[in-house]
Amino acid sequence: MISRPIRFENHPFRFLLYLEWILLFVAALTEVLPSHRLPRFPLLTISYIAAFGVMGLRLPTGKQIYKILYTALEVFLLLLTANIGSRAIRTFPSLYTILVIRSCLIFQVPGRLVVTGLAFLLFLLRLLQRFSRIPASPLVQERFRFVPFALAVSLGLTLVFVLLFMNAIIAERQSREKLAIANEKLRQYALRIENQATLQERNRIARDIHDSLGHSLTALNLQLETAVKLSSSDPNKAKQFLARAKQLGSQALQEVRQSVAALRSDPLQGQSVEQAIASLVEEFRCTTGVTPAFSTHLSHLLSVELSTAIYRIVQEALTNICKYADATEINIQLGISAAKLYLQIQDNGKGFDLERNTTGFGLQGMRERTLALGGRFEIDSAPGAGCQIKATFPLQ
C-alpha cells in the first residue's frame, strides 16, 4: 500500500455514501416503528444518528490527530445512541459497519485494524450488558445463552468482510491512481524526447544547409559574378564559369532535396526498406558518380520503426561518405542472421580517428537510433583505412 492518504472531495466513493444513508435510515426507522416498549428519547436518538450521518459528508485529511478526534467523536455518538435508544441490538450493527467503512477511508491498514477491533469489542460488551439485564427463568436463559455468541460471530464476520472489501477497493483505486500518474509521466517523458529529437534534427539540417547549401550558393554567386565580368572581354572563359555555375546549381538543388527528404515524417513513403535504400543508392550515384554496391537478404517484412531507423542510418552514412570520405567503393549489406537484423556499410575512403571524430551529430544520431530499438552500433575506422559501420537489431 502507498503511504500517502487517498485524496477525495467529501467522499471518495459515492456508492458507499449511499450505502451509509440506507443503513442509517434503517437504524432510525427501528426507533420509530411501533413496539410494545416505546423508546425513551426517540427524537434525540434520531438526532444522534443524523449527526453521525452528517459526519460522513466530510472526512478528515491531513494530520493524524484530526482523524483520531474524528473517530473518537463517532464512537461517542455511537455510545450515546446505545444508551438512549431502546432498540440498540438492531441499531448497533449498522452504526458499527459504517464506523469500520469510514476508518478504512481515513486510516492506513494498522489504523483500520485497530478501529475494527475496537468496534467489535464495544459491540460485544454492549451485547453482554443488554442480555444480562433480561429477566428470565434458568430454563429460558439456558435456551438463549448462545444468542449473544451468534450475534457476536455474525457481526465479527460482517466487519471482517467489510474490512477486506474496503481494502480491496482502496487498493484498486490507488493502483489506478499510480497507473495514471505513471502514464502521465511517461507521456511527458515521450513528449520531451520527441521535442529534443526534433530540435536535434532541425539543428542538423540547419547546419547542413549552412555548410553545404550555403557554400554551394556562395560559390555559385562568385561564378556568376565572374562570368558577368568576362562576358564582354572573354566570352569563352565566361562560358566556362557559367558551366561551373550550372553544376553548382544542380548540386545545391540536390542538397535541398536531401534536406527536404530528411524533414519527411515518413521517409519511406510506402516503400519497402529495400526500395528506399535503392533510391538512396541511385541518388548517390547521380550526385557523385560512384555506385554503391547494395545486397539484401530479408526473409520477412520489418516494422515501420525499424525500417525508418535503417533508412536514416544508411542516409546519414552516405551523406558523410559524400562529404568527407572521397570513397570510390561502397558496400551496403542488409540481412538477417541468428534472429538478428544486421546492417553493414563499408567504404574505402579517407577514414578518421575514432578517438576524435565519434561525437559528431551524424554518428551520434545513428547510434541513438540503433540503441532506441535495443540494437548495437559499432564503428571501425582509421585514417587512410576507410570506415565500416555495423548495426544489429533484435527481431521480435
Contact 295/334 with Cβ under 8 angstroms?
A: yes
Q: What are phi and psi of 226, to 5 degrees?
A: -65, -40
Task: Give the whole-angstrom CA distance, residue 394 versus residue 396.
Answer: 7
Task: Give the whole-angstrom CA distance, residue 292 versus residue 331.
Answer: 6
Number of helices and strands in the chain (H, E) = 12, 5
> Using the 8-state DSSP alphabet, how is residue 293 labeled?
E
How many Cα atoms sit within 13 Å of 32 on the Cβ side? Answer: 11
How many Cα atoms sit within 13 Å of 368 on the Cβ side? Answer: 15
For residue range 342-387, list pLDDT tens digits in order. Answer: 999 999 999 888 877 655 667 887 888 898 888 999 999 988 889 9
3-state secondary structure of 380: strand
Contact 91/31 with Cβ under 8 angstroms?
A: yes
53 or 218, greater pLDDT: 53
In angstroms, what CA-CA distances link 361 with 40, 43, 197, 200, 316?
88, 82, 12, 8, 10
Task: Give the whole-angstrom CA distance, residue 95 versus residue 126.
Answer: 13
For residue range 4-38, list pLDDT tens digits in order. Answer: 444 444 467 777 888 888 888 877 777 776 655 54
**Annotated domain spans of the chain:** 14-187, 267-396
- Of the pLDDT bands very low, low, confident and very high (cuts 50, 70, 90), residue 263 is low
For residue range 157-187, list pLDDT tens digits in order. Answer: 888 898 898 888 888 888 988 998 998 898 8
Global pTM value: 0.46
What is the mean predicted confidence (pLDDT) over 201-215?
67
The H or E element spanning position 115 is helix 109-132
Contact 282/274 with Cβ under 8 angstroms?
A: no
Task: Give the whole-angstrom CA distance, residue 120 versus residue 155.
Answer: 7
What is the mean predicted confidence (pLDDT) over 106-117?
89
In CATH, 267-396 is 3.30.565.10? yes
> Using the 8-state DSSP alphabet, how is residue 316 labeled?
H
What is the mean predicted confidence (pLDDT) over 211-239?
78
How many Cα atoms sit within 13 Å of 246 on the Cβ side? Answer: 5
Give residue 169's pLDDT. Answer: 87
In angstroms, what CA-CA distances link 31 with 46, 51, 54, 124?
7, 15, 19, 21
Give residue 379's pLDDT. Answer: 92
Task: Give the whole-angstrom CA distance, residue 268 versus residue 78.
Answer: 73
Give residue 208's pLDDT. Answer: 63
Please list, in sequence order, all residues whose beta carbon lies within 8 angstroms of the beta carbon of residue 246, skipping any fewer than 6 positions away: none
Task: Give the whole-angstrom CA distance, residue 157 versus residue 8.
Answer: 28
- Of the pLDDT bands very low, low, confident and very high (cuts 50, 70, 90), residue 58 is confident
Contact 373/391 with Cβ under 8 angstroms?
A: no
Q: Which of 325, 329, 383 is nearest to 354 (CA)?
A: 383
The H or E element spanning position 343 is strand 340-347
For residue range 112-153, list pLDDT tens digits in order. Answer: 899 989 988 888 887 777 666 655 556 555 666 666 777 778
In angstroms, what CA-CA distances link 42 with 10, 33, 68, 85, 96?
29, 10, 29, 7, 19
Q: Does the CA dihedral 92-94-95-100 come out positive or negative? A: positive
Mean pLDDT, the chain, as a whole number? Answer: 80
Does 3 score more than 50 pLDDT?
no
Give residue 89's pLDDT. Answer: 44
Give residue 8's pLDDT. Answer: 43
Of 5-9, 66-70, 132-136, 270-274, give the lowest mean pLDDT range: 5-9
For residue range 283-339, list pLDDT tens digits in order. Answer: 888 778 889 999 998 877 788 888 988 988 998 898 888 878 889 999 999 998 878
